[in-house]
Structure 1
Amino acid sequence: MSTTATRDAPSATRSHRAALDVDPHALAAEFFGTLALVFFAVGVAIFAKPFVGVLGIALAFGFVLLALVYAIGPISGCHVNPAVTLGMMLGRRISPLTGVCYWVAQLAGGVAGAALLAWLARSIPIFKADGRGSFGTDGYGANSVVHISAGGAFLAETILTALLVFVVLCTTHGKGAKGPAGMAIGLSLSVIHLLGIPLTGTSVNPARALGPAVFADNNALSQVWLFLVAPLAGAVIAVLVHFLTHGLPAQHEAGTPPVPATESPAGSAAGAAGAAETEAERRDKDLE
C-alpha cells in the first residue's frame, strides 16, 4: 500500500500544482488585451461615431477582438471578457483560481483603457467644453437610443452575450482559436453590436462596461450593475447550450492533465511488455 501511495504521490502533486498555478504572462495578456479592446473599440464609439456610424463601431469591436485572438490567444486564450472567462470556468476549460485572476486582470485592464481615453479626451476642445457625457457607456431608459426598459436591456444583454460565449466555446479547444476560428469570434461580436448598439450600447463584457462608466459624466455608474450581471447570466446559458449540443467536456479539458504513459506504472508495464514482444519476434525471425 505504501509503495502504491508513493508512486501516485508525484502525479497527484503535479495535478494539484497545475490547478493552482496561474501564468503571469497570461494575466498580463488579459490585462493589456482588455485595455486594447476598450481603448480602440470604445474609442471609435466615443471619438469617431459621427464619421463611421453604427456599422463602423460594430466592425471596430469585431476587428480588434479578431486581432487579439491571434495575438494573445496562444498565451491566455484571449478572453478579455469576464463573461467568456466564466464560460470557460463552467465549461471546465480553466480552474476557478485562474478564472478569478483573469477577472481581476480584465477589470483592471478595462478601467485602464478607459482612463487612457479620458486622458486623450482632455486634449479635445469639445470634451473640455461639454464634458465627457456618456463616454461610450451602456445604458437603458434615457441612456438608450430606443429608451429600452431595464428588463428589456437585461434580456438583450443576456441573449447577446450567450451567442458570443457559445461561439467561443464551440470554436476553441485548449488555448486560443485555431485556423479561421478567430474570424467566427470577431464577426459574431460585430453582428452582436449591430443589434445591440441601438438597444443598450452593447456591453456583453463587464470589463468593457465598467471602465467607461467610471469616467462618464452621466449616471452610467448607477446602471452598470445590469451590464455586469446580465453578461454573466448569458455565459451560464451559453455553457448549458454547449453541453446540450457538444456533450460534457472530456477529463483533459477539465483542468486535469493526463498522466503520460511513461510516468504511469501501468503505462510503463505495457511499454516493457511491448518491447519484450518485439524482441521475441525479432529472435523468432532470426531463427527462421
Structure 2
Amino acid sequence: DVFWFRFRRDDIPAGVYEFDPTFGYKLIETMTTHIHNTQSGTKGTAASTGTADNITVNMNDWAEGQKLKCHLYTYGDGTDSALVASTEELTTGCGQDEWVVLTFSDPKPTITKDMVYAITAHGDTSGEYATYGYEVGYIQIGESDTYNDGPETPIDWDTKLDNFVVSIYCSYTEGVVNTAPTITGEIPVNTSTDISVLPALNVTVDDADDDWLNVTWLSNSSNSWVWFARNSSIDGATLPLSIEQTNSNFSVHNTKYWWSVNASDGTTWTNAT
C-alpha cells in the first residue's frame, strides 16, 4: 500500500529538513565588480552530498549579446583548485540588481559533503558586472582569465580582497552518490622477484561510504582467470582493513604468477591486478 501525506513547509521544524539546499552568498549587495575576461565569485561549503543543478548570480549592467557563464571549482591554492563543471552560456542580458540562473547540463556535477567550493561568474566583454559587498567571513575571488579561452584550471585565486563577497550561490539536489571501493597496499607488489613459493598475498580495502564489501581473489595459474579465495560481507565499520590470502598453486620456483583482486560494494566495484 502507498500512503501520501500533505503538510505545510512552515510546519517542519527548522534544521530538520532542508528544501532547495544552496551554498554561497544569497544577499544582494550595493557594490559591483567587473567580470569581463576575469572570474569573480564566492567560496561556500556544501552541507550534504548531492548533484549541482544551477548557479545563480546577481548581475548589473549586463547587456544583451554579452556572454556569461558560471563555473564551479573545488577551492584551494594552485593545483588544489580544480574545475568541477561550467554552466550553460547565456547572452540575454538584464537590468540592475537582477538574479540570473545558469543551469548545468547533464550529467550534472556531483557535490560532496563538507567540500569547500569556489562559485564564479565569467564574462567576455567590458560592461558586465556582478554585485558584491563587505561581509566578514567570506572572500571575493578574482583572476584574469580570457573568456574565449575557456575557464582556467587549476587556478590561483587572488585573495587580496579578503572579506569581500559576491552575490552568487549554487543550488543542488541532495542525494547519496555511491563511491567505488579502493584497493591499496598490494603485497607482493607488481613485478616483484625473489618471492618465496606459497607467498602471503595482502591488500588493504576501503570504502568512503562505509559500505559492506565482498572481495574476490583470482589467479591465472591455470592459464585462465579463476577465483581461489573470497572475503565475504566485510563490515564497513571495520574499514580500512588489511586482508590476506594464499594460493596453493603458487608453488613452483622460477615461475611468473598473476593475481587479481575485485572489491564490490554491491553497486560498484574496483579491480587491482
Is this a same-fold pair by TM over 0.5? no
Q: TM-score range by the shorter chain?
A: under 0.3
Structure label with greater radius of gyration: 2
Ranked by relative contact order (alpha carbons within 8 Å, sequence separation 6 or more), the top structure is: 1
Q: Normalised by the size of structure 2, how large is the TM-score?
A: 0.26
Bigger strand share: 2
Q: Normalised by the size of structure 1, how large is the TM-score?
A: 0.25
